[in-house]
Amino acid sequence: MSAPPKRVLITDSVFDDCDVERDVLEPHGFSVTQAPSSDPQTLLDCISEGVAGILVCFAPLDEPLVRAAGENGCRVIARYGIGVDNVDLETATELGIQVTNVPDYCLDEVADHTLALLLACARGLADPIRDRGVGSGIPYERIRRLSGRTLGLVGLGGIGLRVAARARAFGLKVLAFDPYRDDWDGLDVEPVASVRSLVAESDYISLHAPLTDETRHVIDADALAAARRQPILINTARGGLVDLDAVLAALESGQLSGAALDVTEPEPLPDDHPLRDRPDVILTPHVAFHSVEASDELQRRATEEVLRVLRGEPPQNPVNRPRELAEATD
Ligand SMILES: NC(=O)c1ccc[n+]([C@@H]2O[C@H](COP(=O)([O-])OP(=O)(O)OC[C@H]3O[C@@H](n4cnc5c(N)ncnc54)[C@H](O)[C@@H]3O)[C@@H](O)[C@H]2O)c1
């Protein structure tokens, strides 16, 4: 039998180099390879050469790639980030591949970015007011007092709770729809029973749920039809939560008065997408997670998870329970 592979593949990353990965893994006898591109065929070629583990950022690791990984020695897939919707968890679990994430490295950054987007919309900063004379060019009629208005959150987990705390400091009342949260005591957040009620009662709607079958297009034409206060939509969660065609139609009809999107589907939006260049839309390129501190922490902690699993230690943040492990311990 040939020796198990000792190579860890980086499919894609947002970091300048892979010095941290090498520092963590090489002293333990593992080598680090960066894929030349993250298109599926290139990744399949890289994986077919044998991999002990994979570090992935945004590249989709769908069933064929995860299966190829399993057949070529892969024991761990570590996501540089929180959401694992780009990894086929079911196949990984079936093949005994441990999937990990880093669930808490950037909660403050995403909450800060959400508030930055909310404030930019509220104060009309998306409109071209720069380079004009003092007091001119401000979209006066669109700027309303923030204090006393209502922010509705879809999802009240790590990031949603931080957004709520920041929003209250600006005098906003906070509502949330989160069917999986049992404990609302002391949160100072009012639970609502449906997304439609949330949309109806909110001046700002901000999304903080994971992307699942249940949350895909949670903001669609039907949900937006419930709007009564011409709300502004903010999405720093996942692009798939929002039907962008419905958002465009709602902006054009005035149902929505603005949108601020850090994440979109597709990502990035095509250059000629009609949401680009609208004065009532702010787009940022999936950067809500970033700060120097968060990125350093993310790169190191994701790599340390790979090392733990490859050394037979339990990971700190398992996302699945691979079948072999479950059978061995149950
Ligand atoms: N833009 C970025 O750079 C960036 C960075 C990190 C995380 N994110 C995204 O932010 C989102 C929130 O992350 P988090 O760390 O707060 O996650 P979390 O798991 O702590 O919280 C998610 C919350 O959503 C709730 N939820 C689940 N299904 C729901 C549903 N159907 N309707 C309403 N609520 C539902 C859960 O009960 C939970 O309270 C995720 O989508 C994550 O991928 C984006």
List pLDDT tens digits, range 29-56.
999 999 999 999 999 999 999 999 999 9
Q: How confident is the model over 70-118, as pLDDT tens digits? A: 999 999 999 999 889 999 999 999 999 999 999 999 999 999 999 999 9
| Atom of ligand 1 at shortest range from CA of 85 | 43
pLDDT at 132: 54
Question: Is the predicted pLDDT of residue 138 greater than 90, yes or no?
Answer: no
Q: Domain 7-104+292-329 adopts which CATH fold?
A: Rossmann fold (3.40.50)
How many angstroms separate the alpha carbon of residue 244 from the centre of ligand 1?
A: 19
pLDDT at 324: 66
- Select from 109, 159, 161, 283 the residue to mutate for testing ligand 1; criterion: most ligand atoms less than 8 Å from CB: 159
Please give the structure tokens belonging to residue 297.
């922490």
> Which carries the bigger pLDDT value, residue 271 or residue 143?
271
So what's the architecture of 107-283 in CATH? 3-Layer(aba) Sandwich (3.40)
Q: Mean of the per-residue pLDDT values for the chain?
A: 93
pLDDT at 139: 62
pLDDT at 241: 98
Amino acid at 257: S
How many angstroms separate the alpha carbon of residue 209 from the centre of ligand 1?
A: 3
Q: How confident is the model over 198-213, as pLDDT tens digits? A: 999 999 999 999 999 9
Question: Is the predicted pLDDT of residue 325 greater than 90, yes or no?
Answer: no
End-to-end, the C-alpha distance of the chain in Å comes to 29
pLDDT at 40: 97
- Select from 110, 199, 236, 241 the residue to mutate for testing ligand 1; criterion: most ligand atoms less than 8 Å from CB: 110
Which residues 6+ apart lie within 8 Å of 312 measured at CB? Answer: none
Q: Strand runs (DSSP E) across the chain, as ranges? A: 7-10, 31-34, 53-56, 76-79, 98-100, 150-154, 173-177, 190-191, 204-207, 232-235, 258-261, 281-283
5 Cβ below 6 A of ligand 1: no
Question: Is the predicted pLDDT of residue 182 greater than 60, yes or no?
Answer: yes
Question: Is the predicted pLDDT of residue 194 greater than 90, yes or no?
Answer: yes
> Which carries the bigger pLDDT value, residue 255 or residue 328?
255
Distance CA 320, CA 146 (A): 42
How many angstroms separate the alpha carbon of residue 208 from the centre of ligand 1?
A: 4
Distance CA 230, CA 162 (A): 25
238 Cβ below 6 A of ligand 1: yes
Mean pLDDT of 225-250: 98
Q: How confident is the model over 252-282, as pLDDT tens digits? A: 999 999 999 999 999 999 999 999 989 899 9
Distance CA 278, CA 290 (A): 25
- Protein residue whose Cα sits closest to atom 27 of ligand 1: 209
* β pairing state of 98-100 and 190-191: unpaired
Q: Where in the chain is the domain with CATH 3.40.50.720?
A: 7-104+292-329, 107-283
* Residues noted as catalytic: 238, 267, 286
How many angstroms separate the alpha carbon of residue 259 from the centre of ligand 1?
A: 19
